[in-house]
Structure 1
């Protein structure tokens, strides 16, 4: 394996970021007093994509294709698993950041909109990770992508998979297959944001497994933050140790945005 600390993400060596969005019926529940989980997640994804793109402008005002973005919704109409883009990007599995910036469907509070909230039906999380595997495998094997940063997958969910199999064995197997994919700089990163309706303290970037039901499973599915991500988290005020997993349970709106910044900006 090459040394990740020497890697410079660029238009020649881009990074793939995949967002998996739970769009099941329970996402219509409140996230905070005046906004649903589905709306907050859509707002956060639009904002983090916008912030990522702003970092890709060169001195001439052109967007360099340093990142390629995939947004996959699961649930929604007929328990679909499909690209969540709207407008001209509808149906596209992977989109360069330059193409993302030229295909917004609108704007809200100065932030372009690419994703709209959905909250219908079941939670086909296993099929979402299966699609992430197909996207990652094809992307890694294309061109020079084996010399790029390992893909980053960020799953945002509020519940349990409805297609996980007995004791979630099918889900675990699919995620393990995804973890087996790698570039010359290491294995894929799999992070989970668990939006819970339960009261109690938030769990942020733990080193050890929580003991709370499905929280333990999503922790197990998550990979460790790399050293650059740990350093960024600590600069943002979190007490994160080496070996911490990319996992948040019961986070606040601020935790959601901070997590997306840490997970989506690897270097």
Structure 2
């Protein structure tokens, strides 16, 4: 295990987000009177992350292409790009093009400190690249196969780079067969810096305590949870260190897996799972 390759414009990294768009993603999550559809929470989290990545990679001349990004939706017998607007239908897109082409920019309200110990609502601009979609089943096996093709092409073109990172966000079991073989095939691709990383997050609607970045499948509630755990890659050392700094208990066998995720742990999963090495 290496995962130390420097990320630069000539040796960029690659993020592939696989987003469950099945009918059950319309179910609510949250607490009390504050609930959202699971699909809305996941879409907001990914849109926010794309903004943060763009800001992180921005220099005086504009956003640098340290990463290429794909957002792939799967549901209702369809697997393909979830980008909207000018990027619709495209898979891996250089980050500068992502940053410059949101489908739209919404005005949203956000509570901010007022400087006197209280909070005040203010309007913020919120770029949107993908919308929540909920329809049909959960063709996870096909989605992993779709990512496999993207990853294979990327690794061939960038044989010495930081390996692609695939983040799968879902709320249910695969409806097109056991995804294990597809996950193994996907994670078998490698660059000189290490194997492809596959991280999995199960979105909850039932409440309860999230299981975040476990190092074994002990205590997971069912066969499906254990399956997702086994499909998930071990976190590289720099991601483990960052997870530990955020208060997570980690070990050398900690995996990129969250079960029964709430809104907070979805954001943490994306934050930790997209921690790359130093940018140049």
TM-score by length of 2: 0.88
| Inter-partner Cα distance in structure 2 for 1:155 and 1:190 | 8
- Alignment match of 1:121 (pick from 113, 133, 136): 136
| Inter-partner Cα distance in structure 1 for 2:201 and 2:182 | 18
| Alignment of 1:246 onto 2:246 | no
Paired residue for 2:29?
A: 31
Paired residue for 1:63?
A: 63
| Inter-partner Cα distance in structure 1 for 2:126 and 2:237 | 30
> What number of residue pairs does the alignment pair up?
255
Q: Is this contact kept in 1: 2:210–2:265, CA < 8 A?
A: no
Cα deviation code 1:157-188 (max 9, x no counterpart)? 00000001xxx2xx111111111100010100
Paired residue for 2:85?
A: 87
Paired residue for 1:17?
A: 15
- Alignment match of 1:227 (pick from 231, 237, 240): 237
| Inter-partner Cα distance in structure 1 for 2:3 and 2:96 | 25
Q: How does 1:1-267 map to 2 (within 5 A)?
A: 3-5=2-4, 7-32=5-30, 33-58=34-59, 60-75=60-75, 78-108=76-106, 109=108, 110-142=125-157, 145-164=158-177, 168=178, 171-209=179-217, 210-267=220-277
Q: Is this contact kept in 2: 1:140–1:146, CA < 8 A?
A: yes
Q: Which has the higher contact order (CA 8 A, sep 6+)?
A: 2
Q: Is this contact kept in 2: 1:24–1:123, CA < 8 A?
A: yes
| Inter-partner Cα distance in structure 1 for 2:208 and 2:51 | 32
> Considering only aligned residues, what root-mean-square deviation do their CA atoms show, in Å?
1.3
Q: Is this contact kept in 2: 1:107–1:113, CA < 8 A?
A: yes
Q: What is the DSSP-based 3-state SS (H/G/I as helix, E as strand, rest coil) of the residue aligned with 2:62?
A: coil
| Inter-partner Cα distance in structure 1 for 2:207 and 2:272 | 25
Taking structure 1 as reference, are residues 55 and 249 closer, same or farther at Cα in structure 2, changes over 3 Å only? same
Structure 2: segments with no counterpart, 5+ residues:
109-124
Q: What is the DSSP-based 3-state SS (H/G/I as helix, E as strand, rest coil) of the residue aligned with 1:18?
A: strand
Q: What is the DSSP-based 3-state SS (H/G/I as helix, E as strand, rest coil) of the residue aligned with 1:100?
A: helix
Structure 1: segments with no counterpart, 5+ residues:
none
| Inter-partner Cα distance in structure 2 for 1:247 and 1:4 | 18
Higher strand share: 2
Q: What is the DSSP-based 3-state SS (H/G/I as helix, E as strand, rest coil) of the residue aligned with 1:241?
A: coil
Task: Tell me whether 184-193 or 108-117 shows the greater mean CA deviation.
Answer: 108-117
Higher radius of gyration, 1 or 2: 2
Cα deviation code 1:111-158 (max 9, x no counterpart)? 21000000000100000000000000011112xx11110000000000
TM-score by length of 1: 0.92
